[in-house]
Amino acid sequence: MGFRSFVKKYLFFSIYIIAFVEFIYAYFKFVIYSGIFKYPITRNKLLGRIVEGYHSVERSLALPNVRLGFAQKHIAELVELNSLYFEKYGLDTSQIIHSIEVVNEYQHYHKKFNYSIDDDLDKKIELLKEKTGVTNHSLQITTNAQNYFENQNAPFKAFSFSRKSVRKYKNKIIPREDLNEAFLIAQNAPSACNRQGARIHLIEDKELIQNILSIHVGTGGFKNTIHKLIVLTEDMEISNGVFEKNQVYIDGGIFLMNLLYALHYKGIAACPLNNSFSIKQDRKIRKLLKIKESECFIAFVSLGYPEEDLVVTTSKKRDLSEIVNFH
């Protein structure tokens, strides 16, 4: 074997070895530090479960037709998590205060409609109020289509704060030229070395949309109002280096936010949908849409013109002191 051939083979196998080591490193880091295992309980893991829990309640309260008595077991678990957090850390973040307020809103909402939730759950909520001193309830944002878009041409700060996820759409056609202009604006998103791996799959066939959403299972309560769906992917074939394993998701996230802003600018409401599904779901959706293997799913986005009467979630943000670190 010549020296040149030896070097080529060495480099070839070394790339495989480095890629494997990088994968193992990422795997163990995710298993150890993410919240997939409840124990050991850390402040961040516990708070992450609480924020996910209260926001799922907010989403339900913002649906077109709220089902009274929904998710009482989930609320009971959220009450326990809030109580556990308070015992360990007190009210040290606005997120825990807001979470308790969302639980209180759940109780208040049902009382408003004279619906009796489980008596044991009602007592647990009252006990949580007494223990923490948080007696106020949150309130999801009620608006209308005109007010929702009143800042679509405002300076960026007002424009950005005005965009919220919408889960209630009219059955009204969006002109193709408006969609294309939004996609053109979204393309201004930066990508690594300008490789532009984003791919937009726009689904307009109603039956196909419902088939996809029945696999996706993240749109319960409003999927029948979805008449247009974007499946955003990033093509892995444009990644070159062995250390670029996460680059498609970084570029895809940047593109997604630019796309949401572009749709908002064009007066089109949207909601990015959870993209955390199994290999089985991945295979089924990929087959339905004939998406090639090299494309990684980034996000599903429902979009349309909003109904006149809207409820959007409060989605309380963390205090800056919790996310900003000066070095």
CA atoms within 13 A on the CB side of 65: 6
- Torsions phi, psi of 102, nearest 5? -70, -40
Query: Can you tell me the mean pLDDT for 141-149?
Result: 94
What pLDDT, on the 0 to 100 scale, is given for residue 241? 79
Strand intervals (E) in 132-209: 141-144, 198-203
At what angle are helices 94-112 and 72-89 packed, to 10 degrees? 150
Measure the CA–CA gap between 185 and 182, rounded to whole angstroms.
5
Local confidence band at 258 (pLDDT 50, 70, 90 cut-offs) = very high
Tokens of 299: 């996000």
Query: Can you tell me the mean pLDDT for 67-81?
Result: 96
Measure the CA–CA gap between 97 and 107, rounded to whole angstroms.
16
Whether the predicted pLDDT of 7 surpasses 70? no
Helix (H, G, I), strand (E, B) or coil at 154: coil
Local confidence band at 263 (pLDDT 50, 70, 90 cut-offs) = very high
Measure the CA–CA gap between 96 and 83, rounded to whole angstroms.
10
Measure the CA–CA gap between 224 and 78, rounded to whole angstroms.
28
Cβ-contact 306, 243 below 8 angstroms: no
Query: Can you tell me the mean pLDDT for 85-112?
Result: 97
Whether the predicted pLDDT of 82 surpasses 70? yes
Query: Can you tell me the mean pLDDT for 284-301?
Result: 96
Say how many C-beta atoms besides its own lie within 10 A of residue 252's C-beta: 24
Query: Can you tell me the mean pLDDT for 64-89?
Result: 95
What pLDDT, on the 0 to 100 scale, is given for residue 108? 97
Whether the predicted pLDDT of 6 surpasses 60? no
More confident residue, 275 or 67: 67
Measure the CA–CA gap between 151 and 74, rounded to whole angstroms.
36
Query: Can you tell me the mean pLDDT for 190-207?
Result: 95
Cβ-contact 78, 103 below 8 angstroms: yes
Query: Can you tell me the mean pLDDT for 247-265?
Result: 97
- Whether the pTM exceeds 0.75: the reply is yes
Whether the predicted pLDDT of 97 surpasses 70? yes
